[in-house]
Amino acid sequence: MRLLDESPAVRFEAPRTTYAGGPAERRGTARDGVRLLVADAAAGVVDTRFDRIGDHLSAGDLLVVNDSATLAGALDGVSDRHGAVVAHLATPLDDGTWVVELRRAPDADRSILDARPGDEIDLAAGRTVLRLEAPYPTASSPTGAGNRLWRATWDGDPPARTAHRYGRPIAYGYLDERYPLADHQTVFGHVPGSAEMASAARPFTAELVTRLVARGVLIAPVTLHTGVSSQEAGEAPQPERFVVPVATADLVNLVRARGRRVVAVGTSATRALESAVVDGSPGIVSAASGWTTRVVTPGHPPQVVQGLVTGWHDPGASHLLLVEAVAGEALAQRAYGAATRGGYLWHEFGDSSLLLPALAGAPASGATRGIS
């Protein structure tokens, strides 16, 4: 696997007792009723609710959202060497093979690292048979022994068809039960292709989007189909397929020219947009599509994105480097410190943040409001 040569500077204690075990609405809270921590370099830190996000945006600001929809990418299977396994379908490649991850059955709580080339996995009672060909992209083990991701050929029904009929959403052990695919979709998701939900947009609802648009907040889509997110600390994200449409690129350039903010909803939207920056013209994007290997870090900072809506990420995760790159180390540290002290909920069904670093020439504030 590709290791990053940068490590997150933000320090906090992993809040394992405050993982969200299920969707907000199944906990008795509306989707847009989850908590929102606003870390604004000019206004300070505010503890509020997601349906008040419009209070912290201005007419003419642009939210860039990921319209990729989640697939049912987890399938029970039987390996000819390991017995019962859970197969996670990560990404279809251009040559028809798939990137897959094998995890322990029944809860997919850990990766299987000792698979070998030639291993075969029956899915859905043999409707599809995966054959592991080679580690992807090369070695991919968090321990240095074995491999986590594999490129696999297949026989029988196409893996996507089998997943559509018999699969379920990819989920990990911190969830208190399995939830239907609809719970793993966002209001913007209508282009199927993601292994896991682009979860930063999950708290948005149609009603909230309507209110934001009525206030003059702009919204534009990009597409980035996510792979599996179970990277280990220090592991770079894999290449992912993305599209930045002409209309979105033009709107981004117009908003920036008028001095308004471009706020990405999620790390996936950030990666897509930053992959469309025109070479030699920082801050300018054009329509683009294909596979992106762009990794946004403090050492390779964003050129276009000026704010971020995102959930809460684990220590050492590559997503945390992206947060620092957009928000700046100091503001990101304040946000994570406030969130851990304030009992915010982590992961895809958890609480959210809006990070607004200072624009060029704007003073920063040290105020903190509403956080105990």
Instruction: Taking residues 51-79, report their average pLDDT.
Output: 98
Instruction: Taking residues 123-145, report their average pLDDT.
Output: 83
pLDDT at 173: 81
Quick check: 236 pLDDT over 60? yes
- For residue 171, give every residue at least 6 positions away whose Cβ sits within 8 Å of its Cβ, in sequence order, or none: 74, 108, 178, 179
Quick check: 145 pLDDT over 80? no
Look at 365 and 135; give whichever has higher pLDDT.
Answer: 135
Among 127-136, 231-240, 286-295, the range scoring the smallest mean pLDDT is 231-240
Instruction: Taking residues 250-265, report their average pLDDT.
Output: 97
Quick check: 146 pLDDT over 80? no
pLDDT at 137: 80
Owner of token pair 């682009």: 198
d(CA 325, CA 7): 12
- For residue 369, give every residue at least 6 positions away whose Cβ sits within 8 Å of its Cβ, in sequence order, or none: 44, 45, 46, 47
d(CA 310, CA 351): 9
Nearest to 221 by CA among 70, 68, 64, 69: 64
Determine the residue type at 272: A
312 three-state secondary structure = coil
Both tokens assigned to 356: 């607004």
Quick check: 140 pLDDT over 70? no
d(CA 264, CA 309): 6
pLDDT at 2: 60
- Asked if residue 304 lies in contact with residue 273, where contact means CB atoms within 8 angstroms, the answer is yes
**DSSP state, 248?**
H
Quick check: 267 pLDDT over 80? yes
* Average pLDDT over all residues of the chain: 91
d(CA 240, CA 71): 15
**Sign of the C-alpha dihedral computed for residues 295, 151, 95 and 124 taken in this order:** negative
Look at 160 and 232; give whichever has higher pLDDT.
Answer: 160
Residue 285 pairs in a beta bridge with 277
- For residue 143, give every residue at least 6 positions away whose Cβ sits within 8 Å of its Cβ, in sequence order, or none: 113
Quick check: 247 pLDDT over 70? yes
Look at 122 and 237; give whichever has higher pLDDT.
Answer: 122
Taking the domains of the chain in order of start, what are their residue ranges? 24-70+178-356, 74-166
pLDDT at 282: 84
Residue range 275-325, pLDDT digits in tens: 999 999 989 999 999 999 999 999 999 999 999 999 999 887 888 999 999
CA distance from start to end of the chain? 41
Taking the CA atoms of residue 370, residue 323, residue 61 and residue 260 in that order, the dihedral angle to the nearest 10 degrees is 110
pLDDT at 363: 46
pLDDT at 368: 47
- pLDDT confidence tier of residue 13, bands split at 50, 70 and 90: confident
pLDDT at 174: 84
Look at 346 and 316; give whichever has higher pLDDT.
Answer: 346
- Asked if residue 287 lies in contact with residue 244, where contact means CB atoms within 8 angstroms, the answer is yes
Pairing of strands 74-79, 120-123: antiparallel
Number of helices followed by number of strands (H, E) in the chain: 6, 18
Instruction: Taking residues 248-275, report their average pLDDT.
Output: 97
d(CA 367, CA 341): 16
Q: In the chain, pLDDT over 70 holds for what percent of residues?
A: 91
The CATH number of 24-70+178-356 is 3.40.1780.10
Owner of token pair 């390996």: 79
Among 41-50, 111-120, 230-239, the range scoring the smallest mean pLDDT is 230-239
pLDDT at 155: 97
The helix (H) or strand (E) run that includes residue 256 is: helix 246-257
Q: What angle do CA 72, 75, 77 make, to 5 degrees?
A: 170
